[in-house]
Amino acid sequence: MTDENKVICALWARWIFLNRRKFLADFEVGALDFIDEYCWMIYWAAGWRALRYLLLMLMANRFLKAEEVANVLKHYQRKIGMDFWYTDEYGSRNTAGAGP
């Protein structure tokens, strides 16, 4: 397990400990509340891939549906402003490599 995945699991463990009833009342709304509370911590310490990992684990355990995972990821992207990030001529946000 990568360090980023450990960070996202620790953030989730803290949030779910404090907000279990909110999550159990409505899984998608709970996940959106998690993003609202920890979006910048996720951005700085874990990243989009680690968040995707967590959401896919929630989907695998049948807490979220695929559509809800997509909605939560889009919500996160809007919160941190990923729409305004640099993209190269291939539409990729990866600036480390050249070409498709």
Rounded Cα–Cα distance for residues 34 and 11 (Å): 9
Q: What pLDDT sits at residue 82?
A: 74
Domain map (residue ranges) of the chain = 3-84
Q: Give the chain's end-to-end CA distance (angstroms, integer).
A: 28
What ranges make up the beta strands (E) of 1-100? none
Residue 97: pLDDT over 50: no
pTM for the predicted model, two decimal places: 0.80
**Hey, what are 37's tokens?**
């509370």
Rounded Cα–Cα distance for residues 9 and 41 (Å): 12
H/E run at residue 66: helix 66-80
Give mean pLDDT, residues 65-73: 96
Give mean pLDDT, residues 24-30: 96
Residue 30: pLDDT over 60: yes
pLDDT by residue (tens digit) across 42-61?
A: 999 998 999 999 999 999 99
The pLDDT confidence band at residue 91, using thresholds 50, 70 and 90, is low
